[in-house]
Structure 1
Amino acid sequence: MLRRIRSEQLQVGMYVARLGGPWIRHPFWRARFLVSSEDQVRQILSAGVQEVWIDILKGRNLPAPDETDAPVAPVPSVSGATPDALSPPAPQPSASLEAELGRARELLQSGKTVVGSMFADVRMGRALEVDGALLLVDSASRSLSRHGQALLALARLKARDDYNYLHAFAVCALMIAVGRTLALPDDEVRELGLAGLVHDIGKLTLPEAVLLKTTARTPEEEETYRRHPSAGYRILNEARLNSNIPLDVCVHHHERVDGRGYPFGLVGRELSIHAKIAAICDAYDSLTSARSGHQEWSPARAMEYLAVRVDTLFDRRVFKAFSRTVGIYPLGTVLRLRSNRLAVVCAQNEADPLRPLVMAFYSVSQSRPVPAELIDLRHSDETVVAFENAAEWGYSDEQLMAMYAGTT
């Protein structure tokens, strides 16, 4: 992927794909090369070259502006501070959770069909067409406008056999929602949604023995697996796209801010905000989904995993936006209260994310269900002492959804 920069921004480790101006005016006989020394940078500057095209897939990217923030609140610790404001308060839902869940179910079925058709075209060697995908992105965006949590909650609940299709749609929805929280422009958010749908398209080139393996991959298999971002980039590079955001996300969503990601080992300042959003959304949905070799985690456990890896694997500013978007305790999370009852999170409290609206439904002390009680933790003596795995108490996500769907 090419990016135009000013010549004074050129750094050692960047791959020059083209130099501005007639080649005879600069000392480099070849137009494409890896910048390996400061002397090369000085020669380019002294030759009067004003702009340079770099290939960020073959070398370093231009560092993003330094993004310093206050420390991230520990999550989901009940004693932590709430995330800093990132955008104006979210608008009030125009549809009830119950009503939007109904629409979201239909949308997920449509999404499975659209993504399945798109993947089938790629497997058959046909050029990728994204018109249908963009219509799906627009439908997801409208759903999130009507109710910010319904589609996110439902997209997390996917059968193991549907993982590859619905993971793409879930990441799409998450990236749209986080992009809005970060107040990105509407056209950019739309491209983020498309990027979510196609971020893993390179996996279609992997052998099933590697992709579906349920035990640890061998070093050779891991090397093969780690080629999928670059393979996806090649597929997308042949498609007619309106922007480079889907390509950027596809090739960089497994990069990590400390340089331990792949395929290039880039560090945080070399990664775009779009790639950083994708890294968190992809990781969260993968952790909370049942897939080959992985038992799904609760939303709260996944949030805790992400939180303790901020500044090593994930960008802190993006994590703050993500935690505000899905909630420190996401919809459907099961919490243990001080009264030793289990309660499911029904809605977020924008002003106090650590005290959501919950419905108590089970007594741990008595080992039996209790009459449902809706509790706003902002106005209650109850406090959260831990989060729980619903399955360990004999409850499925679908049963919990039936409990909280009619509460808002």
Structure 2
Amino acid sequence: MKFDPDNSIKIPITTLTVGMFVTAIEDSERVHLAHAGRVSSSKAIKQLQSNGIKFAWVDQSLSTKGSVFKPVVDNASDTITQLSTAAKRQLPNRKVRQSTAVKIIRDARELANKLLNETFDNTSLIIPDLERWAEDLITEALDDTDALHCVSALRNKDEYLLEHSVNVATLLVTFGKFIGLSSEMLKQMAIGGIIHDVGKIKVDNKVLQKQGKLTPEEFEHMKLHQVYAEQIISEVSGISQVSRDVCLMHHEKLDGNGYPNGLKGDEIPLHGRMSCIVDIYDALTADRCYKEGMSSADAFKVLLTLTPFHLDKDLVYKFINCVGVYPVGAIVELNDGRIGIVWTSNVNEPLKPEVKCFYSRKYKRFMDVKFVDLKDKRYTIDKAIAPCDLEIDPTPFFDI
């Protein structure tokens, strides 16, 4: 849909009703372009309100007939300027959108690198840095989750710990946003994601990098990273309880057989349960120096086998719906033999994302890059492909 600010009016969120066509939303500080579409339920409206949204822009011509609009008495030119600025920032320029995501992911990797190499020796500096980064992440996640995930999908198997921390933080924010958690909660979960593996800096590298299954003794040593993490963060002021929980509960299991504290059932709060799911998913899909990552579809199957005894079944299903069958950044093969990267998600039709195609398996050659919108019925996704099963290197094509 081509976005035209002139077609929209600004209304208080309290007057938004089912059937109205939303084009943008505004919290107390900033305008965010919405995934344009008609409001389908009162639950969706309540979720916007709980997320701190104050106003919505709606297109009267695309809204259900009979909708009653109560425009905000505002300077019309200012309103159009706000909306035009948001549109310019988010929709037409892929390079601008992804460059913002690149900066956020780069900043996150630098922070994670500090944590994993210096731990919390300089806490007076690292905590404010974490908070500023988390706020940027939340803002970008509200604006353009797809760009974030396309950038974070580009990983280096030799920097697993660093990139795993970044991806867990990003996925937690996406997941939390999907189920309607507040911005403040998302911020604290993001910080928890970044620090969640900090205890591994004290684990023996021979165990940490071992190629193959750990012995029982090695596994017990590996489990100590949660004990080390608790020791490290206990000496740091300024980390919220939510962030601590995400860090210290991502290996707990609902049946009480997890670690470090053997928490059971309701002893693990919502954000703790979410961190368990996200941590496993990212570990399964990551390439390591000793193993190749699996596709998202295969990782989802593993997650489901871990329910309901280890993982919360309802949350696993919600996570699968959140990430999507073909997540942004995933590599797929189309029905005509073209290979591409899932570039933009389609909330209303998750099986029909936009794909950036760059290679033909049919002709065994690279081709001119083309963005294919799978709403075009001629094309469908045949299958998802794990990067290790691809005969060429897709890395250069994650760039715009």
Above 0.5 in TM-score?
Answer: yes
Kindly provide the CA deviation profile for residues 51-80 of structure 1, in whole angstroms up to 9, marking residues without a partner as x: xxxxxxxxxxxxxxxxxxxxxxxxxxxxxx
Matched, 1:109 2:123: no
Larger CA deviation: 187-196 vs 105-114: 105-114
Matches within 5 A, 1:28-39: none
Q: Distance in 1 between matches of 2:123 and 2:333?
A: 51
Greater RCO (Cα-Cα under 8 Å, separation 6 or more): 1
Once the two structures are TM-superposed, the CA of residue 291 in structure 1 deviates from its matched residue by: 2.7
Aligned CA distance change for structure 1 residues 355 and 230 (closer, same or farther; 3 Å): same
Q: Is the 8 A contact 1:87 1:181 kept in 2?
A: no
Give unpaired runs (5+ residues) of structure 2: 1-42, 57-85
Aligned CA distance change for structure 1 residues 308 and 374 (closer, same or farther; 3 Å): farther
Matched, 1:354 2:351: yes
1:281 equivalent in structure 2:
278
Aligned CA distance change for structure 1 residues 208 and 124 (closer, same or farther; 3 Å): farther
Q: Is the 8 A contact 2:292 2:388 kept in 1?
A: no
Kindly provide the CA deviation profile for residues 111-167 of structure 1, in whole angstroms up to 9, marking residues without a partner as x: 232222233443769899522211121222222233112122222322233322232
Q: Distance in 1 between matches of 2:316 and 2:229?
A: 25
2:185 equivalent in structure 1:
188
RMSD: 3.3
Q: Is the 8 A contact 1:128 1:235 kept in 2?
A: no
Aligned CA distance change for structure 1 residues 370 and 108 (closer, same or farther; 3 Å): closer
1:67 equivalent in structure 2:
none
Matches within 5 A, 1:219-238: 219-238=216-235
Matches within 5 A, 1:202-217: 202-217=199-214
Once the two structures are TM-superposed, the CA of residue 374 in structure 1 deviates from its matched residue by: 4.1
Once the two structures are TM-superposed, the CA of residue 222 in structure 1 deviates from its matched residue by: 0.6
Aligned CA distance change for structure 1 residues 395 and 332 (closer, same or farther; 3 Å): farther
| Structure 1 SS opposite 2:355 | strand
Q: Distance in 1 between matches of 2:124 and 2:349?
A: 48
Once the two structures are TM-superposed, the CA of residue 290 in structure 1 deviates from its matched residue by: 2.7
Aligned CA distance change for structure 1 residues 98 and 282 (closer, same or farther; 3 Å): farther
Once the two structures are TM-superposed, the CA of residue 274 in structure 1 deviates from its matched residue by: 0.7
Aligned CA distance change for structure 1 residues 237 and 327 (closer, same or farther; 3 Å): same
Kindly provide the CA deviation profile for residues 369-389 of structure 1, in whole angstroms up to 9, marking residues without a partner as x: 456554433440443332223
Q: Distance in 2 between matches of 1:211 and 1:168?
A: 15
1:383 equivalent in structure 2:
380
Letter in 1 for 2:258: G
Aligned CA distance change for structure 1 residues 269 and 346 (closer, same or farther; 3 Å): same
Letter in 2 for 1:283: I
2:23 equivalent in structure 1:
none
1:322 equivalent in structure 2:
319
More helix by share: 2
| Structure 2 SS opposite 1:394 | coil
Kindly provide the CA deviation profile for residues 327-355 of structure 1, in whole angstroms up to 9, marking residues without a partner as x: 22011323333444444322211112122
| Structure 2 SS opposite 1:130 | helix
Letter in 1 for 2:393: S
1:290 equivalent in structure 2:
287
Letter in 2 for 1:401: F
1:78 equivalent in structure 2:
none
Give unpaired runs (5+ residues) of structure 1: 1-83
Q: Distance in 2 between matches of 1:383 and 1:278?
A: 33
Aligned CA distance change for structure 1 residues 372 and 186 (closer, same or farther; 3 Å): closer
Q: Is the 8 A contact 1:122 1:128 kept in 2?
A: no
Q: Distance in 2 between matches of 1:353 and 1:252?
A: 31
Q: Distance in 1 between matches of 2:327 and 2:238?
A: 33
What is the aligned-residue identity percentage? 25
- Higher Rg: 1
TM-score, normalising length: structure 2: 0.69
Matches within 5 A, 1:113-128: 113-122=110-119
Aligned CA distance change for structure 1 residues 206 and 196 (closer, same or farther; 3 Å): same
| Structure 2 SS opposite 1:147 | helix
2:37 equivalent in structure 1:
none
Once the two structures are TM-superposed, the CA of residue 273 in structure 1 deviates from its matched residue by: 0.8
1:396 equivalent in structure 2:
393
Aligned CA distance change for structure 1 residues 280 and 397 (closer, same or farther; 3 Å): farther
Q: Distance in 1 between matches of 2:318 and 2:170?
A: 14
Matched, 1:251 2:248: yes
Q: Distance in 2 between matches of 1:263 and 1:159?
A: 29
Letter in 2 for 1:352: E
Once the two structures are TM-superposed, the CA of residue 219 in structure 1 deviates from its matched residue by: 1.1
Kindly provide the CA deviation profile for residues 63-119 of structure 1, in whole angstroms up to 9, marking residues without a partner as x: xxxxxxxxxxxxxxxxxxxxx989569999852443222222233332232222233
Aligned CA distance change for structure 1 residues 272 and 295 (closer, same or farther; 3 Å): same
Q: Distance in 2 between matches of 1:343 and 1:156?
A: 14
